[in-house]
Amino acid sequence: MSSQLPRRLGLFSTVAVLVGSTIGSGIFRSPAGIAQRLPGPIPLLAAWVTGGVFALCGALTLAELAGAFPRTGGLYVFLREAWGRLPAFLFGWAELLIIRAAALGAISTTFAEYFLRVLGYNTTVAPYDAYVHYVAAVAIALTATFNYVGLRWGSLVQNVTTIAKYGGLLFIVLLALALGLPHTGGYFTPAVPQGSFTLSAFGLALVSVLWAYDGWEDVTFVGGEVANPRRNLPMGIIIGTLAVIAIYALANIAYLAVLPVGQISRSPLVAADVAEKIMGAPGVVFVALTVMISAFGTLNGSILTAPRIFFAMADDGLFFRAVARVHPRFQTPYVSIVLCALLGIIFVLVRDFQQLADAFVIAIVPFLALGVAGVFVLRKRSDYDPPFRMPGRTVAPALFILATVFLLVNAIADPGSRWATVGVLGGILLGIPVFYATVGREPGDAASAKP
């Protein structure tokens, strides 16, 4: 499978795919919702640190698996190798039905909102609220075109936007700490106000945190196109994840250096309020441009990586064979890219940001947990030979799995999110009869899966 797509991504591009796919709108939009649920500096920061530990535990495990199976499809391949065809199919089914279209829709919506805002239009009033959907659809089509005409183009866009977004966020952090903190003294006390922490609220806040952190697994989808993959894939995953955790922690400290938690909770774009307090109107424009570039880069990263899942499924006979076609000139999975883009465009025209973001998180975490748990199965195989062995062996994957169980149970137990969560999980389980009615009638299991 991997020989059909050339290996052109080096270490820097591998890191850029991970960082660029992860840092999108979450660090700019999520702090408000998290502060509403955890209105205290320590609880707020604890949620972000916990999310970072969660992501790192998963990333370390996938780094080991990616080194052992550097193939196109990434997480899909790990599920197939560890658990067989049905779980792998259900992941692809969830990606097709919910995950990828929801992600593309949410990310492109953020890009569209700030694109129109930079042009001076208010996206909360007609007709510009409707224009958001159309601009988002065009953005999906544009990034799909970049990746259709070659991995080199998609990778170039990813590298440039990743440097711009990371640099822009770091600039905001430095401004806040160098100019804002001496003026305000910071808003780090009281550290834990009364009523600022409950386990249920922490779990719900963690869903928003994980939306901001999601993306560390996406680079595995292009594992079949990474040069020197046994070195570059594990290193890229670890370096990229640590870089994201560092900038997220610094950003939240910077926000608290300039604004109290109560104001953060009322700020849909906290970075803009921080910049405005320090720089005035030019700061708001700078942040809007940063968010716009950030969202566009994440959108490009999602279009670059996700189609490889459908490509790998088709190559395994778990999806329409035509989806596994490689363009004779551009050497890209062009049918899969077009399919992915069309799904994202349909979703973004009919759903809003919050619906899309919540559906995405609930749908992806069970498969991340199952993929991470696969390391316990695969380590028993005689041919399992990863170049990187995760430190701690069992601790990191166990923590990741336990955190996932807590997240899902808490989402089901909470009355406000219960039925949406059940609906998403029910949609995934609908894939079981679909599997047995179609490709599941064909023989095959993890042992006989195509390498």
Q: What is the 3-state secondary structure (H, E, C) of 351-407?
A: CCHHHHHHHHHHHHHHHHHHHHHHHHHHCCCCCCCCCCCCCCCCHHHHHHHHHHHHH
Q: Is residue 445 part of a domain?
A: no
Range of the structural domain that residue 391 is part of: 9-440
Among 419, 294, 363, 320, which Cα is nearest to 29's? 294
Mean pLDDT, residues 368-384 taken together: 93
pLDDT in tens, 69-117: 998 888 999 999 999 999 999 999 998 888 888 788 878 888 888 888 7
The answer as to whether 287 is a domain residue is yes
CATH of the domain at 286: 1.20.1740.10
Residue 2 inside a domain? The answer is: no
Residue 201 in domain: yes
Mean pLDDT throughout 181-204? 86
Whether residue 404 is contained in a domain is answered as yes
Is 102 domain-assigned?
Answer: yes
Percent pLDDT > 70 in the chain is: 94
**Is residue 449 one of the residues assigned to a domain?**
no
For the chain, how many structural domains are there in total? 1
First vs last C-alpha separation in the chain: 7
- Do the domain assignments include residue 4? no
Give the global pTM.
Answer: 0.83
Cα(13)–Cα(20) distance, integer angstroms: 10
Distance set, CA 124 to CA 110, 116, 136, 293, 298 (Å)? 13, 11, 15, 21, 23
- Between 133-142, 361-370, 411-420, the lowest mean confidence (pLDDT) is in 411-420
